[in-house]
Chain A
């Protein structure tokens, strides 16, 4: 029997914001759960650059942390960038300062998980595993 490949996830904070305590915690928790984590850091890259890296790294999941108060703009850009690079099948998860009323608009873009302040590491990790395995199935079906 071949052991399943670990989930590979790219985590990043797009834009100039550097409040990265949350995403660092997620990076560490993912690593401890046996995932392969690519952490791009914060405050130095645009949304497009994060997406480029996700495509190049061929990840199973892309996770963005957004604390800027306007997550809609960045999520829209990210979804658009994934589409342009023909990588819309990479599930996108976002977390950060996101108001309840902003959630539906973000979800309707096709974002696979929206985690506002107060989300637990357990639920975030569970969702990552879930979307990664769903994608795995989909890809296999396509083949």
Chain B
């Protein structure tokens, strides 16, 4: 197919299609995909992994099906976890409430009204014990969605509670998101540790896991937050890679061996509405990460080259109007993730925009994955869209565009992507570009240039939502605060103070790993808020530079 022939076809297009074609080509042909099959695509399980990171992919094993929960007191989330497992999920992911994520106890004045409402509160190792009670941790992965001040303490509490429940640390499988850069990029106005300290926490967690909890993933590099805030696909891809490079730079600076921790780094990305864009994003990400690890960091172990990724459907695509339509959105997004070759997937329950999901909406979300896996036939063949002119062209373009953004960071950081990303945070770059994209989307919806079904078109007037929703009672907060009081009364206050002083000392010495003293402190009875307060004081808080 030569360009001339394609142009002849293009010129003959009817009016509407021609106009669209000018904005964005409406047809792809071999002319759009130049490249070398071996070099650009290769085989599944082989460099550069465009077609999948394992030789057998889903023909060998389906992706890990995950559902998320977190509300009420620990018992509520625990009960929902057990429900997930009964219904066939292989992994349960816990969402913490904002006080917990931010490293604040439930009795803090700032926590008022937020305890247990949209996440699980964790104040003490005892809350963690109740959360995992009766969950077979040797089989079920626990994914902890914490990427802020609370992360190192929450993780330490998890390890401690599991050990107290009789598990060996090396049996524990799961992930802690533990991703700070994405938090600054997406939510720059909130308070957090100084970026350098945050990067150190990640490096410490990587090192700690290598030595003690080797099957656990110590960091989930993500840009999903930025996507939820409004950035586009290429930006998400670029930010994700840039954050990944940043952590590797930091770990190397601490003297770690890239091939020792390379295989422990995993990623967390969103799944948005544009079906083919999302598929291309995951394919491009695998190829980019493989190149980054092998070419840039000189990793020799093929395990370090593999881009292992969890796909989280973007909740911002769910609508409050006609919520059952979200089942359809969730299905299309899930298909995109599966065709994109992800390692695990979390489908949005249809009531996501309204409240904490019910068991029923969670079940439908899980069934969506199971139907795709067992009934649709999309798992019969590995990377079935490989070779599609459109998908390959999109994959190439996503990669090219993302590199441009990464090179900008490199330039800002004079070679260091980490320094460039930090500059991007401090200079307001991330906030500006993310807000601009979000606003562009919002205006397009307001002007009906973009149709959101049920929102600005096909609206049900005076829609009456006759939907059973989860109600989290307001007294959850009182119960949690009472528990915390009782805990503080029971513990050895002097021992707690002493253990916190050891944390403080470790925090002021960069060479020390923070995790062992934190675990010791929570074992002694220190609360999340107390431990984070010490960390805040000794690591310093990040303040906006502009």
Interface-side segment among A36-44, A55-63, A135-143:
A36-44
Contacting pair B469 A44 (CB below 8 A): no
In the bound complex, CA of A46 to CA of B109 (Å): 8
Q: Hey, what's the 0/1 contact readout for B84-118 against A, CB within 8 Å counting as 1? A: 00000000000000110010100001111110011
Is residue B313 contacting chain A, with contact meaning CB distance below 8 A? no
Which of under 10, 10 to 19, 20 to 34, or 35 or more describes the interface residues of B?
35 or more
The residue in chain A whose Cβ has the minimal distance to the Cβ of B441 is A25
Task: From known contacts A16-B99, A46-B112, infer whether A24 and B187 are also in contact, taking CB-CB under 8 Å.
Answer: no
Rounded to whole angstroms, the CA-CA distance of A21 and B110 in the bound complex is 21
Choice from A25, A69, A72, A116 contacting B439 with Cβ under 8 Å: A25
Q: What residue in chain B is nearest A67 (Cβ atoms)?
A: B118
Do A25 and B102 touch (CB < 8 A)?
no
Residues in B with CB closer than 8 Å to A77 are: 112-113
Q: Is B355 an interface residue (CB 8 A)?
A: yes
Q: Within 8 Å of chain B (Cβ to Cβ): is A88?
A: no
Task: Name the distance in Å between A128's Cβ and chain B's nearest Cβ.
Answer: 15
Output the least CB separation between A35 and chain B (Å): 16
Question: B residues within 8 A CB of A41?
Answer: 189-190
Residue ID in chain A nearest B318 by CB atoms = A117
State in angstroms the CA–CA spacing of A88 and B254 once bound together.
56
The count of chain A contact residues (Cβ–Cβ below 8 Å) is 32
CB <8 Å contact, B474 and A68: no
Cβ-based interface call for A112 (8 A): no
Residues on B with C-beta less than 8 A from A15 are 98, 110-114
Tell whether B319 is near chain A: CB-to-CB under 8 Å. Answer: yes
A51 to chain B: closest CB distance in Å? Answer: 14
Q: Which of B111, B229, B321 contacts A16 (CB 8 A)?
A: B111
CB distance from A122 to the nearest CB of B (A): 6
**28 A-B pairs whose Cβ atoms sit less than 8 Å apart in the complex:** A15-B98, A15-B110, A15-B111, A15-B114, A16-B99, A21-B229, A21-B438, A24-B438, A29-B439, A42-B189, A42-B190, A43-B98, A44-B190, A44-B191, A46-B112, A67-B118, A68-B117, A68-B118, A69-B117, A69-B118, A69-B355, A69-B472, A70-B114, A70-B117, A73-B113, A97-B353, A99-B355, A117-B354
Binding site for A on B (CB under 8 A): 98-99, 102, 104, 109-114, 117-118, 187, 189-191, 228-230, 316, 319-321, 353-356, 435, 438-439, 442, 446, 455-456, 465, 469, 472, 474
